[in-house]
Amino acid sequence: MQTNPTHTSLVAVGDSFTEGMSDLLPDGSYRGWADLLAARMAARTPGFRYANLAVRGKLIGQIVDEQVEVAAAMRADVVTLVGGLNDTLRPKCDMGRVRGLLTEAVERLAPSCRQLVLMRSPGRQGPVLERFRPRMEELFTCVDELADKHGALVVDLYGAPSLADPRIWDVDRLHLTAEGHRRVAEAVWQSLGYEPEDAEWRTPMAATVPPGWASRRVADARFARQHLLPWIGRRLTGRSSGDGRPPKRPELLPYDDPARPPADVKLS
């Protein structure tokens, strides 16, 4: 790991996690950890360039087909790749195929950049995670093996107690809140060798009185109606929340480019 590094460009590849859901801004767009990370890096390096190719709902095969070659051609200093988790949450998932596609992505991206960053994605406490945990951990084992082979960094978000706390997840129970994204940005920042701005990002939030039984049941019913049933409907009809959506930031441009003004990047 480099100490006090200088990076001139960042390309983010992935799905809704990297797009920034559910770190919602007033204009209805999403910010997220990759934008926060880019803001920090740009503050250190004049002319810093940033692209974010992520699109919500993408499976690892779609990431390979639609994003990997584009990212590799940009020849960025840093490339982040997070993918495959959407596959593990499908009722039918060929983990052998997922591992093969992730391997293909890493083999293409690693030689194209100074530093490839992979992640063990965070997992929310609860029954849904328990059901899919074996697949997730198989995916993360593959991530670790690929990182060892290709010299990539692995940011272990799965092992961070703070990111398992349900309070740091949005009401859809699939995406992090703004505070969650802030902590992920800090984790990647430190993994790249920068001085910590929050040395306690892994530390769980202070304990609070848990909601009562009735409040939990109301929340469960709201979650099922607003998020779970629509998600199941998309799975049954072969649709995705990302269908027809362009990449978040498809070109590798200066972060403060006037054609693409950055969102509010205050980190506190």
pLDDT in tens, 54-107: 999 999 999 999 999 999 999 999 999 999 999 998 888 999 999 999 999 999
Q: Which pTM does this prediction carry?
A: 0.84
Q: With helix as H, strand as E and coil as C, how does 124-174 read?
A: CCCHHHHHHHHHHHHHHHHHHHHHHHHCCEEEECCCCHHHHCHHHECCCCC
User: Which amino acid, residue 115?
Assistant: Q
∠11-184-121 over CA atoms, to 5°?
85
Residue position matching structure tokens 């199941």: 232
pLDDT in tens, 94-140: 999 999 999 999 999 999 999 999 999 998 877 666 788 899 999 99
∠145-198-125 over CA atoms, to 5°?
60
| Average confidence (pLDDT) over 196-213 | 81
| Average confidence (pLDDT) over 224-243 | 58
Mean pLDDT, the chain, rounded, equals: 86
Using alpha carbons, list the distances in angstroms from residue 179 to 165, 184, 260, 264: 11, 9, 24, 15
| Average confidence (pLDDT) over 253-265 | 57
Looking at residue 102, its pLDDT comes to: 98
Cβ 52 vs Cβ 35: under 8 Å:
yes
Helix (H, G, I), strand (E, B) or coil at 107: helix
Q: Is 225 exposed, middle or buried (0-12, 13-18, 19+ CB in 10 A)?
A: exposed
Question: What would the two tokens of residue 95 be?
Answer: 């983990």
Rounded distance between C-alpha atoms, residue 118 and residue 1, angstroms: 14
In which band, very low, low, confident or very high, does the pLDDT at 263 lie, cut at 50, 70 and 90?
very low
